[in-house]
């Protein structure tokens, strides 16, 4: 199933939980099946079974008539850095890590599909990063690699927007990654039973229609079980947390010449099986 959060002027209130069903969105909230996507994630298999059993009878809206929002409001967003082997080819000076490393995107940076994101006046190097992202479905703390895959609810996309001139000045990675709107996620969460090969997913980024990133999760440096098991020994992970898995080669900072986003641009990131996450850039 593909879970979404959406609003619709005919539905009576905003932030409905829904399921994509062809060209329609089945509204779980109106049917009393789930108040939010987070509730489904936290409910585990029992919640999924309840949704499946009731899906045929819920109200539906045309996808073209709804506004998709961030599919979930995460408690934490942890992002893996340098997790693609292709980085060594585009940046010969890159130091490939021997262990995973992570940084945080703050929940206040999260926005949904098609939400305009301001180019801050404090950066001239606003960059894009397509990131295949895990939605945690069960608590993981000091987890073995064997514990990881059964604990994954599903997958979504994150555009890890970055202000490179802020990020690289004095290693200000937290500030450089967390301007308002710098964590678009969506368009949906695909359940793990539907996307069964997370280690072989095609990823793309287009800026104003030009293809700039064209990679695959098959190029990961660290596997999903290794990545998340490692993280869980330092940070307890809860249902609804997001863990992104790095970005393939092709980011703007390593283009020749460099390419950075500006007001008027539109960036689209895409993952096979998940869809396209579109973000317009506007003046700050």
Mean pLDDT value across residues 125-151? 98
Mean pLDDT value across residues 176-199? 98
Instruction: Report the SS3 class of residue 51.
Output: helix
Percent of the chain with pLDDT over 70: 98
Mean pLDDT value across residues 192-221? 98
- Res. 171 pLDDT band, cuts 50 70 90: confident
As a whole number of angstroms, the distance between CA 238 and CA 235 comes to 10
Exposure pattern of 80-104 as b/e (b: 16+ CB <10 Å)? bbbbbebbeebeeeeeeeeebebbe
Residue 62 contacts residue 23 (beta carbons within 8 Å):
yes
Residue 135 has a pLDDT of 98
- Res. 96 pLDDT band, cuts 50 70 90: confident
Whether the predicted pLDDT of 13 surpasses 70? no
Q: Given the DSSP bridges, would you call strands 210-216 and 77-81 parallel, antiparallel or unpaired?
A: unpaired
- Which two tokens mark 117? 């994101």
Residue 42 has a pLDDT of 97
The CA-to-CA distance between both ends of the chain, in Å, stands at: 37
């Amino acid at each position: 199933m593909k879970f979404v959060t959406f609003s619709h002027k005919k539905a009576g209130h905003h932030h409905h939980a829904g399921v994509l069903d062809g060209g329609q969105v089945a509204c779980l909230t109106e049917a009393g099946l789930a108040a939010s996507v987070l509730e489904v994630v936290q409910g585990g298999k029992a919640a999924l079974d309840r949704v499946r059993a009731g899906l045929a009878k819920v109200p539906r809206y045309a996808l073209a008539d709804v506004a998709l929002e961030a599919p979930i409001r995460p408690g934490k967003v942890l992002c893996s850095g340098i997790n693609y082997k292709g980085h060594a080819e585009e940046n010969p000076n890159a130091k490939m890590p021997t262990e995973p490393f992570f940084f945080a995107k703050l929940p206040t940076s999260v926005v949904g599909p098609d939400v305009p994101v301001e180019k801050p006046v404090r950066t001239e190097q606003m960059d894009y990063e397509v990131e295949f992202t895990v939605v945690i479905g069960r608590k993981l703390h000091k987890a073995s690699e064997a514990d990881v895959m059964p604990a994954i609810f599903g997958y979504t996309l994150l555009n890890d927007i970055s202000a490179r001139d802020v990020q690289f000045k004095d290693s200000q990675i937290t500030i450089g990654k967390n301007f308002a709107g710098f964590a678009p996620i969506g368009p949906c969460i695909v359940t793990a039973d539907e996307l069964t090969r997370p280690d072989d997913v095609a990823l793309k980024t287009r800026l104003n229609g030009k293809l700039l990133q064209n990679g695959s999760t098959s190029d990961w440096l660290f596997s999903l079980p290794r990545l998340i098991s490692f993280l869980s020994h330092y940070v307890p992970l809860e249902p609804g947390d997001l863990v992104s898995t790095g970005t393939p080669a092709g980011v703007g900072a390593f283009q020749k010449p460099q390419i950075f986003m500006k007001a008027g641009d539109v960036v689209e990131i895409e993952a096979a099986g998940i869809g396209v996450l579109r973000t317009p850039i506007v003046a700050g």
